[in-house]
Amino acid sequence: MWMSIRSKAAPSPAQSKEGGSKSSTMPRQPVQADASEAELMEIKLGLARRLRELRAQHSWTQADLAARLGSSQSRVAKMEAADSTVSVDLLVRSLLTARADRKDVGRAVGLRRR
């Protein structure tokens, strides 16, 4: 008995428009992810800015603050630059070490750059 073997080919553009591809019916997640990433970056920038201000108010060098945190001067520099390797948790802990209170942290988070 003779059997025909058909290979599965990629759907044509017409088939894709008709629902042959799941990607055309899936909602776009990157747009929402981009917005939340931008919001997180704004929060980190506000916390970093406030950390730098508090350090200056206390007349501490980055090395002074690093010693209080049990960290390094280069890490403090990364915190103040809101480097992507710095967590929000680390920034908040550092602000509290620099004698910020809850309201101060809240204001730093709530402020938007203009």
In the DSSP assignment, the letter for residue 2 is: -
96 domain residue, yes or no: yes
Would 24 be classed as within a structural domain?
A: no
Cβ within 8 Å of residue 6, ≥6 positions away: none
User: Whole-structure pTM over 0.95, yes or no?
Assistant: no
How remote is the C-alpha of 69 from its chain's centroid? 22
pLDDT in tens, 23-50: 556 555 556 778 899 999 999 999 999 9
Average pLDDT of every residue of the chain: 82
Q: What is d(CA 111, CA 37) in angstroms, rounded to the nearest whole number?
A: 16
Does residue 23 lie within any of the structural domains? no
CATH number at residue 43: 1.10.260.40
Range of the domain at 76: 33-110
Confidence check: pLDDT of 114 > 50: yes
CA distance 22 to 3: 31
SS3 66: helix
Domain count, the chain: 1
Residue for token pair 């997180």:
40
